Structure 1
Amino acid sequence: MNLEYDPLEIQFQETIKNTLSQSDEGSVWDSLLAIGALGYTVPVELGGYDLGETTNLLVCSELGRIGIVSPYIETITISDICQLDSINDRETLSSIVEGNHSYSLLYSRDLLKAEVLNNKLLISGELTSSLNIKELDFIYLLLSWENNSYVISIKKEQMLQKITPVDDKNTDNIYKINFLNFEINNYYEISKSEVDSIYKKLLMRQAAYLQGLTEGVLNETVEYTKIRRQFNSKLIDFQSIQFTLAEIFAELEAVKMKLNYTTWKLENNALSVIDSLETLALISEKALYASRKCIHYHGAYGMTKQAKISKYYTLVINEVNRYAKYKDLWKEISNLKKEQQISYQI
């Protein structure tokens, strides 16, 4: 593992952090376009910058740290899908780099049934996901069913009647999408290796975002416990609170080391699906633990919309279950390891 650092790369990363830290929910997309972030994983010959996944994951982490909701992860993952040999969609790729449209990505691994009849793809089942309906132009569906995988691009207008909001006081923008005998004329069939390449990157980006969210939760809590007083003392002065926050900080640093190592493996084409699943599962658990502990230190105020910790808490609850319920990640890891053992024995 190469531990050398490029001073120019570090300076560039600091510029990214400074730019995004000055952004809010309304201006973050313009900021991402200004720094060319939508082209970081796109080759130069296709209009991008080809900066690699390390810089890209830094953006994901920084968006989490400042508590921003953005379709960035979904959009750049769709750009990866467009670059697959079996798809090679230059028009959509160009649209993504230039920021002309807003995209959302739905991922289904054996949740939606799919079969091809008379050259049409017939989909059945339900998905629950976070969607920004107002700003959405296209929905991309990456679907794996049994031994086949497909990519489908759907205009928002085609989906509106199939989308219903989920009423949950703890979450925002959560919708149930009903694919009842949904017929698709235009679709791409992709290989298992192509699906795995997309899936690994998607999980790593989500892990980086959750790591950033956890860091934001801790920073917000430390600042608040310096202000809030109990029994004529600041909360931060109580040893029990000091030790708990120190424990979470230490665990977060360990998680960041895990993320850095798996990022290095990704950059060197050595990352397995199990590696990325373990990274996301670990960070998901730490994010939930940290947010639940930290919101407790804010008291009743922490549950109000005025408290920034409330936004972080809601984001963590949403994001740990975005692409799979975090408890199911360990189950998937166990199943994949069993499959590996069987293949080795054969």
Structure 2
Amino acid sequence: MDSSYNEELNIFRETVVKFIENEIAPFYEEWEKNKIIPKSLWHKMGEEGLLCCDIPEEYGGFGVDFNFNMVVAEEIAKAGFFSLSTNLVVHADIAAHYVLNKGTEEQKQKYLPEMVSGECIGAICMSEPGAGSDLQGMKTTATKTDKGWSISGSKTFITNGQNSKLYIVAAKTNLEVATAKGLTLFLIDEDMPGFSRGQNLHKIGQHAGDTSELFFDNVEVTEEHVLGEIDKGFFNLMEELPRERLALACVATAHAEGALALTTDYVKERKAFGATLSKLQDIRFKIAEMATEIEMHRVVIESYKQKLANKALSTEQASMAKYSATEMEFSVTNRCLQLFGGYGYMTEYPISRYFLDARVQTIYGGTSEIMKEIISRSILGR
């Protein structure tokens, strides 16, 4: 990357940091208590050009690359506002790109400009009660009708579930074959008859991020609501996974960086046994260990960003990044909390939120166990 590109990225980063300081930090605790991020914040982010930056200009975006999206998500994660970072990744780096890459021109024109402006928040709906990451266990079905399709079933653990206006829903369209060969994606609008939201689920972390159950009771859709090809939904999912998993690895690394920065400041001030903690060799070594782990991941993440830009990032590499970075993130936040002692267990100390928010990162987007299975298959075969 040349110097002018880096300068442009840094200027954009400064804009993001100022936005965080002015529009997020003063209000985030209230959002955590209310267990939802107000839609007005999404509108403000849209007005500032912080949503879906890499969507092409003809659909309202800037047409820049993945790095700009990650500047927004990573800086928010680094600052400790991880609920928003997660919800943002689902909207801007997952849902919007399904529409961009699999949608018809009419679908792109309908949804993408509003996703860029924040008027339309997106969600991706895969997980189901009793199935989780196992798509083979999916029970939501789409039955052919004279006018199109009738969708029935339920989803759970859906990020942006309460706030979304657009839901990308996976449903089985061919019951005679394995799910992988009979899955289709549909675009469901929030006001469609038969669609309803369940409760905003109560989680141990990421409280401000709305995560919901969704229900589909014979939701009638037309062929215009099919995203991609009939029965090709599983393959569409596989094509988008490298970007999704790299994005999760990026925010994991940034989140760990933020936790370490917070902890470094604390050990420089906190005294024990007649000296600041930062003077104790054991503490110094722990800081050195974490800084090294984070730096190694940062180097890999940056190189993988370039691979993604060149369409050269493999599913296996994205799985390695997601697995390793999220495991590192939780390990770092855990060790950082330990260095705060009893205060780390108190909710008024932000490190406690870093720790709790990080826990789910090794679960959603494909568990660590699933990532290891994908990696091992690439090396050893099935």
2-side partners of 1:318 and 1:85: how far apart? 28
The residue that corresponds to 2:99 in the other structure is 82
Counterpart of 1:105 in 2: which secondary structure? Answer: strand
2-side partners of 1:337 and 1:82: how far apart? 32
More deviation, 69-78/144-153: 144-153
1-side partners of 2:203 and 2:242: how far apart? 30
**Structure 1 unpaired stretches of 5+:** none
Residue identity over aligned pairs, in percent, reads: 15
CA contact (8 A) 1:61 1:208 kept: yes
Aligned counterpart for 2:221 among listed residues 185, 194, 197:
185
Aligned partner letter, 2:14: T
Distance 1:154 1:31, change over 3 A: closer
Aligned partner letter, 1:9: E
Aligned counterpart for 2:188 among listed residues 140, 150, 153:
153
Matches within 5 A, 1:64-213: 64-68=77-81, 69-70=83-84, 71-76=87-92, 77-88=94-105, 89=107, 90-108=109-127, 110=135, 111-119=137-145, 120=149, 122=151, 124=153, 127-131=156-160, 133=162, 135-142=163-170, 145-147=179-181, 148-155=183-190, 163-164=198-199, 166-167=201-202, 169=204, 172=207, 175=211, 177=213, 183=219, 185-186=221-222, 187-190=225-228, 191=232, 194-213=236-255
CA contact (8 A) 2:141 2:153 kept: no
The residue that corresponds to 1:57 in the other structure is 70
Kindly provide the CA deviation profile for residues 183-228 of structure 1, in whole angstroms up to 9, marking residues without a partner as x. 5535425345543332222212121111111111101111111122
Distance 1:277 1:313, change over 3 A: same
Q: TM-score of the superposition, structure 2-length normalised?
A: 0.77
Q: Does 1:231 align with 2:273?
A: yes
Matches within 5 A, 1:308-327: 308-327=350-369
2-side partners of 1:310 and 1:159: how far apart? 40
Counterpart of 1:37 in 2: which secondary structure? Answer: coil
2-side partners of 1:92 and 1:18: how far apart? 28
**Structure 2 unpaired stretches of 5+:** 28-39, 128-132, 173-178
Counterpart of 2:51 in 1: which secondary structure? Answer: helix
More deviation, 243-252/144-153: 144-153
The residue that corresponds to 2:376 in the other structure is 334
Aligned partner letter, 1:265: K
CA contact (8 A) 2:329 2:358 kept: yes
The residue that corresponds to 1:15 in the other structure is 14
Aligned length: 337
2-side partners of 1:81 and 1:28: how far apart? 23
1-side partners of 2:268 and 2:218: how far apart? 54
Aligned partner letter, 1:297: L
Distance 1:228 1:277, change over 3 A: same
